[in-house]
Amino acid sequence: MDRLQHDRLKWKCRRGLLELDLVLERFLRREGKTLSESDAAALSELLEQPDNDLWELVIGRSDRVDARLRGILAQLRAC
Amino acid sequence: MSLPVRTFDAIVVGAGGSGLRAALELSRAGLRVAVLTKVFPTRSHTVAAQGGVAAPLANSGEDNWHWHMYDTVKGSDYLGDQDAIEYMCRRAVEVVIELEHMGMPFDRLENGKIYQRPFGGHTQDYGSAKMAMRACAAADRTGHAMLHTLYQQNVHANTQFFVEWMALDLVRDAEGDVLGVTALEMETGEASLFHAKATLLATGGAGRIFAASTNAFINTGDGLGMAARAGLPLQDMEFYQFHPTGVYGAGVLITEGVRGEGGYLLNKNGERFMERYAPNAKDLASRDVVSRAMTTEIKEGRGCGPDADHVMLKLDHLGADVINQRLPGIREIAIKFANADPIREPIPVVPTVHYQMGGIPANYLGEVVVPAGGNDEAVVRGLYAAGECSCVSVHGANRLGTNSLLDLLVFGKSSGEQMVKSIRAMPEAHKPLPKDAGERSQARLVRLDSARSGERVAEVSNELRRTMQAHCGVFRFPELLIEGVEKMKAIAARAERIAIEDKSKVFNTARIEALELDNLVETAMATVVSAEARKESRGAQARSDHPDRDDANWLKHTLWYKDGNRLAYKPVHLKPLSVDSFEPKVRTY
Ligand SMILES: Cc1cc2nc3c(=O)[nH]c(=O)nc-3n(C[C@H](O)[C@H](O)[C@H](O)COP(=O)(O)OP(=O)(O)OC[C@H]3O[C@@H](n4cnc5c(N)ncnc54)[C@H](O)[C@@H]3O)c2cc1C
């Protein structure tokens, strides 16, 4: 990811729930530099979810997500 | 260099509950409204509210606005303005029912009415031992449902949203009238002028000035910084509510429900210390009592961990079934942020900043009011404030749970109504922008874009948060406060020497964070200076050297001015609109 892609994603990671801010910040810090184009696109799509739905996905209380986004979700869950 | 100008009837800065409620009022009146927001509206911090919104609907037991008003005045430790509190409690039923009609999915009773539950500090019959059933919720998603409902209504009403636009400064003319704001479009990195007949600040709280905070990262006090830079005072900024159980090191809130189900706090000796501080209520005593007890334990060396800087919340004795079924989400939060599975081990917690009672001084019509020409509360023409960034003041020195969402609805609506009225009374043409409109913002941007070397944003903002936490926390000590003021002055000076490495304009988050830092600095300075000066303990302010409330000297509102870092005071409105005043009494629960 270049600087611009990274910053766009970073701002999409600014949420209303602190829980998500923290997990997403941690994820971007660890993986941001090496994230593939397709993972970055998947993450960006996943970030369109409303805060509460996204949090339930991240903590594994829900699995309701498109199959294409399962890979990036698994990475977020492990983070 | 002049900035491009966009013209509207009204501008709302912030798309949380308060901003959206106000915008709706304006759009429905047929006015042209621009709502500016740093993040997509439904990602505003209001989404985090779970507990509910207070209204004396009396659906699940006797209730009325008089009782609600009494609880709010008492909860405020008598610093709340009683006219504004009466206004809020009297309009509560109306705004909640209205929200229901807009489609808010409230939990319901079998008879179809809104289900209501008890919440700390809300009582029947003027403080009797019987709890009022006053909190209306939409499962554990009250804030989320409120934002979605209001956003949809605004879309239908043709409110125009400017998403990922950051407001930078207020525009005031020589007469002091507010004529709009400057704002930065993140996508392009370019600034514009938004010219309007009325401007509302609804930018939320500034909980991020503390290291331990339950607030999301976006809560940097931008509206407060904008007001301060424009020469307006900030009111009662010493009062921040602490939640006793934020996860140590992360801030994420562990709901009171955990202690309600039988969880309790332990110090490093494994002692259930709340038995000493509150023999009856123990771990269920009110938020300020528990937070102070925890801080005392830590201060006296009985904290846990290598730095003895937190305590433990034990719930493993409740068993896996109770934890999983009645406290959903708690286990996941503890594992994710504390690396502790509460089924087997306790969760490390610390008192954590949760809510800002102070803010931009406003009356109950949302008008921003400041001392001028011998009047303590002269209206600043063209400027309004609502929600957590404002100080109306209904929460005084301490907010009751669920009263904040109510505040958003009531004062979002009243400020919208007042803006409509005022705009309709104005001439057709906008008051012309002053020549120097935009200059302050441009200077801030030019400095950032040209500084070759200097301080780093992350370092200065971390230092600011650490300083506020250490010097202006739950318990306030005179020497620490005095030192805190000096440290904040040094931090403010460092913040003026910020440099960012990457000067790109297009979506540069480093640039945005540098601009946010200016607001953190104003807010933190206002907080520590106001706290140092107030020589009493009241509500959320607890001083070691002045442990009691002092109505003779301190029953007054603080006003902090950036200019000269100076303070002024003004009286509390003890006279309600229609009922008798509630005289200050000792606050016991
Ligand atoms: C975890 C948690 C739980 C809570 N639970 C409850 C509860 O159950 N009941 C209750 O009554 N209260 C609760 N509160 C408090 C309540 O949620 C908040 O006080 C309230 O939501 C604040 O709403 P607001 O409209 O003032 O601002 P916010 O919802 O914070 O919105 C601020 C808006 O301003 C925008 N903004 C900020 N700066 C700028 C800028 N420079 N330019 C453009 N836009 C900007 C943001 O993008 C956002 O849209 C809770 C708080 C927390 C932290």
Cα atoms in the 13 Å half-sphere on the side-chain side of B366: 32
* B524-545: b (≥16 Cβ within 10 Å) or e: bbbbbbbbbebebbbbbbbbee
Query: For residue B143, which residues of chain A lie inside 8 Å, CB to CB?
Result: 16
Closest ligand 1 atom, residue B52 Cα? 8
Q: Search chain B and give the residue with CA nearest A77.
A: B336
* B33 φ, ψ (degrees, to nearest 5): -120, 130
Please give the pLDDT value at position B1.
60
Name which residue sits closest to atom 20 of ligand 1, judged by CA: B46
Of B333, B502, B508, the CB nearest to A19: B333
Angle between helices B403-424 and B82-101 (to 10 degrees): 90
Cα atoms in the 13 Å half-sphere on the side-chain side of B136: 25
Q: Which long-range contacts (CB under 8 A, 24 or more apart) does B90-93 make?
A: B90/B65, B90/B577, B91/B410, B91/B413, B91/B414, B92/B54, B92/B55, B92/B56, B92/B65, B92/B68, B92/B406, B92/B410, B93/B55, B93/B56, B93/B57, B93/B65
Mutate to test the pocket of ligand 1, among B45, B181, B200, B388 (most ligand atoms within 8 A of CB): B45
Query: For residue A3, which residues of chain B lie inside 8 Å, CB to CB?
Result: 502, 504
Quick check: B385 and B359 in contact, CB under 8 A?
A: yes
R_g of chain B computed on alpha carbons: 23
Closest-CA distance, B215 to chain A, in angstroms, reads 6
Choosing among A6, A10, A13, A18, which should be mutated to test the B contact, i.e. which has the most B CBs within 10 A? A18
Q: Decide the pairing of beta strands B347-356 and B311-314.
A: antiparallel
Name which residue sits closest to atom 6 of ligand 1, judged by CA: B49
Dihedral, CA atoms, B84, B90, B96, B102, nearest 10 degrees? -90
B43 and A7 in contact by Cβ < 8 A? no
Q: How many angstroms from the chain centroid is the CA of residue B178? A: 23
Of B560, B473, B72, the residue nearest B241 (C-alpha): B473
Closest ligand 1 atom, residue B38 Cα? 47
Q: Decide the pairing of beta strands B5-7 and B190-195.
A: parallel
Mutate to test the pocket of ligand 1, among B353, B404, B512, B519 (most ligand atoms within 8 A of CB): B404
- Residues touching ligand 1 (Cβ under 6 Å) are B 13-19, 36-39, 44-46, 48-53, 142-143, 166-167, 202-205, 214-215, 218-219, 222, 253, 354-355, 387-389, 401-405, 408
Which secondary structure element, helix H or strand E, spans residue B527, and what is its range? helix B509-533
Please give the pLDDT value at position B339.
94
Cα separation, B83 vs B76, whole angstroms: 13
Of A4, A18, A59, the CB nearest to B214: A18
Q: Which amino acid is at B132?
A: A
Please give the pLDDT value at position A62.
93
Q: Which residue has the tokens 């809300």?
A: B122
**Ligand 1 mean position to A50 CA, how many Å?**
16
Query: For residue A11, which residues of chain B lie inside 8 Å, CB to CB?
Result: 39, 164, 186, 507, 509, 512
Please give the pLDDT value at position B129.
85
B336 and A8 in contact by Cβ < 8 A? no
Is B503's Cβ below 8 Å from some Cβ in A?
no
Q: How many Cβ atoms sit within 10 Å of the Cβ of residue B131?
A: 15
Of A12, A42, A75, the residue nearest B186 (C-alpha): A12
- Strand ranges, E, within B442-574: 475-476, 542-543, 556-561, 566-571
Q: Which of B91, B134, B287, B381 is catalytic?
A: B287
Of A15, A22, A60, the CB nearest to B250: A22
Collapsing DSSP to helix, strand or coil, B241 comes out as: strand
A15 and B39 in contact by Cβ < 8 A? yes
Cα separation, B567 vs B558, whole angstroms: 7
* B302 φ, ψ (degrees, to nearest 5): -105, 20
pLDDT, tens digit only, all 589 positions of chain B: 689 999 999 999 999 999 999 999 999 999 999 999 999 999 999 999 988 999 999 999 999 999 999 999 999 999 999 999 999 999 999 999 999 999 999 999 999 999 998 888 899 999 988 889 999 999 889 999 999 999 999 999 999 999 999 999 999 999 999 999 999 999 999 999 999 999 999 999 999 999 999 999 999 999 999 999 999 999 999 999 999 999 999 999 998 888 888 899 999 999 999 999 988 888 888 788 899 999 999 989 999 999 999 999 999 999 999 888 888 789 999 999 999 999 999 999 999 999 999 999 999 999 999 999 999 999 999 999 999 999 999 999 999 999 999 999 999 999 999 999 999 999 999 999 999 999 999 999 999 999 999 999 999 999 999 999 999 999 999 999 999 999 999 999 999 999 999 999 999 999 999 999 999 999 999 999 999 999 999 999 999 999 999 999 999 999 999 999 999 999 999 999 999 999 998 877 6
Name which residue sits closest to atom 11 of ligand 1, judged by CA: B402
A59 and B332 in contact by Cβ < 8 A? yes
Cα separation, B121 vs B481, whole angstroms: 30
Closest-CA distance, A67 to chain B, in angstroms, reads 23
Size (chain A), residues: 79
Please give the pLDDT value at position B589.
64
Q: Where are the domains of chain A?
A: 3-78
Answer whether CATH 1.10.3720.10 is correct for domain A3-78: no
A10 and B250 in contact by Cβ < 8 A? no
Q: Search chain B and give the residue with CA nearest A16.
A: B45
Quick check: B143 and B47 in contact, CB under 8 A?
A: yes
Quick check: B578 and B82 in contact, CB under 8 A?
A: no
Q: Please, which residues have CB within 8 angstroms of residue B286's CB and are 6 or more apart in sequence?
A: B120, B121, B589
Is B287's Cβ below 8 Å from some Cβ in A?
no
* B168-199: b (≥16 Cβ within 10 Å) or e: bbbbbbeebebbbbbbbbbeebebbbbbbbbb
Q: Decide the pairing of beta strands B198-201 and B367-372.
A: unpaired
Cα separation, B161 vs B12, whole angstroms: 10
Cα separation, B169 vs B182, whole angstroms: 5
Mutate to test the pocket of ligand 1, among B360, B388, B402 (most ligand atoms within 8 A of CB): B388
Cα separation, B65 vs B54, whole angstroms: 11
3-state secondary structure string, B415-476? HHHHHHHHHHCCCCCCCCCCCCCCHHHHHHHHHHHHCCCCECHHHHHHHHHHHHHHHCCCEE
Cα separation, B347 vs B312, whole angstroms: 5
Known active-site residue B287:
yes
ipTM (interface pTM): 0.96
Closest ligand 1 atom, residue B19 Cα? 25
Please give the pLDDT value at position B329.
85
